[in-house]
Structure 1
Amino acid sequence: MGKRRCVPPLEPKLAAGCCGVKKPKLSGSGAHSHGNQSATVPGSSSGPLQNHQHVDSSSGRENVSDLTLGPGNSPITRMNPASGALSPLPRPNGTANTAKNLVVTAEMCCYCFDVLYCHLYGFPQPRLPRFTNDPYPLFVTWKTGRDKRLRGCIGTFSAMNLHSGLREYTLTSALKDSRFPPLTREELPKLFCSVSLLTNFEDASDYLDWEVGVHGIRIEFINEKGVKRTATYLPEVAKEQDWDQIQTIDSLLRKGGFKAPITSEFRKTIKLTRYRSEKVTISYAEYIASRQHCFQNGTLHAPPLYNHYS
C-alpha cells in the first residue's frame, strides 16, 4: 500500500499543460517491454506521441495529457442554469453523493469565466469569491465546441490558495498555452471551463501500486542521459485510452522524453506518486444563466457586476 500524504511534497512551483490527445491506441503490454514503439495522435499530423507531450525539466514545466477524471472522481454535481446552485448527480451504483462532501464547486468555474471575461473586455477584475481559499494543487481547462476540443489547459502541482490560483491559471491556460493562440472574445460563447483540484497524494510502493480510472499518477525517473525527468496523467486518461497499467507507465515514460528501450527492470526504478482529484465543468451558457442578473438588455457583452458575491 502507498504511503499517504495530505499534500504534494514541497517543490518549486510547477506548471503543467494538458495535451488533450484523442485516444491514441497503444498495443498490448508486451509490445512495450522493448520500448521501441510510440503512438501517434489521431487527427493530428503524423509523428510520435512524445513530440506532442514534451517535458522540459529545465523549466519545471510538464505537459499533461488530460485534466479529466475517472470513475469515482468524475463530477458528481450539476449546476442549475437558472440559479447556479449545485445538485447531486447519481453515482454509477445508483447512490448519491452530496455537494457538501466536495471542495470543488461550479462557482469556481463561474469565477474563472468572470476573470477571463473581464480580461478580454478590459474591465476591472471581479471581487474575490466566497468559496474556500484553502490551498490546493489545481488545473484550469478550456474546451470549445460541441466536441469539446481542447483550447487551453495549465495548472500547478504546488498547492495554491484557490482565489489567487484560479485567477492566475484562468489567464495562463486561456492566453499562454503555447500550443494554442490566446482565447478571444468571439470564442467565449462556445467555451467550457473545468476546474480540477488534486487531492490524496500518496507515495506508491512500486510502479503498479495504483488503479486505472481511480488514480492520477506522476512518475519520476532518470533518463538515458542521467537527467531526472517527470511526467503525469490525471485519473481518467488511462481509462479513456483503454490502457492498462504497463501501457500507461510506458506512455508516460515516452511523454517524459525517455527514448531508450523500456524494460521491466527499468520500470522498477520509477518513483511513482498517485493522487485523486475533484472536477467540475460548466459551459458558457450555464455561466451566463448563473450571472443573468449581471447582464443588461439581454446582451452577452456587458461586464459582470462586482457585487455578485456579496
Structure 2
Amino acid sequence: MVVATEEMAVYCFDTLVSHFTGDQPPAPAFEDGNHPLFVTWKKATNGSEPRLRGCIGTLEPRQIVSGFKDYALTSALRDRRFPPIQSKELPTLECTVSILTDYETAEGYLDWEVGKHGLIIEFTDPDYNIRRSATYLPEVASHEGWGHVETIDTLMKKAGYHGTITESLRKKIRVTRYQSTLYTMHYGEYVAYVKKNRGAAPAINGVTVVNGFKPGH
C-alpha cells in the first residue's frame, strides 16, 4: 500500500515555491501510482494553533505525481473559502499530504470511528429534491472535538443543506467511510530538507526564504 511520505510534502512545497519563482519544480523523489489524495495547507502565526488555509483533493484515484502538483496549487491559490496564498506567507505554512484508502459502505451514519475514518455523505435535500454530498478527512472530527452526530450535522451543512436536520433525515444518509495515511511538514522542516539534500535554501527572486523572512516586506 502506498503511504504518504516526507518526499510528497516536499514536492508540494516545491510546487508552490516554483509557482512564485516561475521555475519548474524539482522532479519528485517518490514513485507514481493511482490513489485518491488531498493537499491541505495550514498557517500558524505567533505560536498559535495552525488554521486552515486551503484544502482540495480528489476522492477518485488519479496519478499521485500530477495529483500532488495540481492540488498543491489548487488548494493554495483557488480554494474559494480563502484568498490565494502569497509568497510572504511561506514561512508560516505547513503542508499535509493525504492518501486515501480502504473505502467501505457504512451501515449507518454512526458506523464509523472518530479519528480513524473519513466520511463521504450523500443524501437528497428534502427541500429542493436535489442530491448533496460532502466529505471530511479522518483527522477533522478529532481535531474539532466532534462526536458522531455533530460531525454528520456539520458535514450536511458543508454539503449545502440549510434546512432542519432530523433523526429521520440522518438515517437516510448514505455514508462511505475511508481511512488515510498522511504526512505533515512545516515550512522550516522543508527548508532544512532542501539545505540537506540540495545544498541551499529555497530562494524567490534571488532572496533566500527562511523562517522569519517575509518576501515583499
TM bin, normalised by shorter chain, reads: 0.7 to 0.9
Shift of 1:104: 0.8
8 Å contact from structure 1 (residues 136, 159) kept in 2? yes
Match in the other structure for 2:98? 196
Structure 1 regions of 5+ residues with no counterpart? 1-100, 304-310
- The 1:185/1:258 distance shift into structure 2, 3 A limit, reads closer
Map residues 74-223 of structure 1 onto 2, 5 A cutoff. 103-127=3-27, 129-145=28-44, 146-147=47-48, 148-223=50-125
Q: After superposition, what is the alpha-carbon deviation per residue over 1:240-294, rounded to whole angstroms, capped at 9, x for unaligned?
A: 3332212222222222222332222222211100001111111111111111153
8 Å contact from structure 2 (residues 191, 202) kept in 1? no
Match in the other structure for 1:243? 146
In 2, Cα distance between equivalents of 1:217 and 1:143: 21
Shift of 1:193: 1.1
Match in the other structure for 1:227? 130
Q: After superposition, what is the alpha-carbon deviation per residue over 1:37-96, rounded to whole angstroms, capped at 9, x for unaligned?
A: xxxxxxxxxxxxxxxxxxxxxxxxxxxxxxxxxxxxxxxxxxxxxxxxxxxxxxxxxxxx
In 1, Cα distance between equivalents of 2:95 and 2:12: 8
Structure 2 regions of 5+ residues with no counterpart? 208-217
The normalised TM-score by structure 2 is 0.84
In 1, Cα distance between equivalents of 2:33 and 2:43: 29
Shift of 1:110: 0.5
- The 1:109/1:272 distance shift into structure 2, 3 A limit, reads same
Greater relative CO (CA pairs within 8 A, separation 6+): 1
Q: Percent identity of the aligned residues?
A: 47
- The 1:159/1:288 distance shift into structure 2, 3 A limit, reads same
Between stretches 134-143 and 164-173, larger displacement belongs to: 134-143
8 Å contact from structure 2 (residues 194, 202) kept in 1? no
Shift of 1:124: 2.3
The letter of the residue matching 2:21 is Y
- The 1:209/1:102 distance shift into structure 2, 3 A limit, reads same
Shift of 1:222: 0.2
The letter of the residue matching 1:164 is S
Q: Secondary structure at the match of 1:291?
A: helix
Shift of 1:130: 3.3
In 1, Cα distance between equivalents of 2:13 and 2:160: 34
Match in the other structure for 1:294? 198
Between stretches 233-242 and 278-287, larger displacement belongs to: 233-242
The normalised TM-score by structure 1 is 0.60
- The 1:257/1:124 distance shift into structure 2, 3 A limit, reads closer
Give yes or no for the alignment of 1:266 onto 2:165: no
Say how many residue pairs are matched: 202
Shift of 1:159: 1.0
Q: After superposition, what is the alpha-carbon deviation per residue over 1:122-167, rounded to whole angstroms, capped at 9, x for unaligned?
A: 112322x231211111111111223322222111111111110000
Shift of 1:105: 0.4
Match in the other structure for 1:257? 160
One of 183, 208, 217 as aligned partner of 1:280? 183
8 Å contact from structure 1 (residues 140, 153) kept in 2? yes
The letter of the residue matching 1:135 is N
**Structure 1 vs Structure 2 CA RMSD:** 2.2
Higher helix share: 2
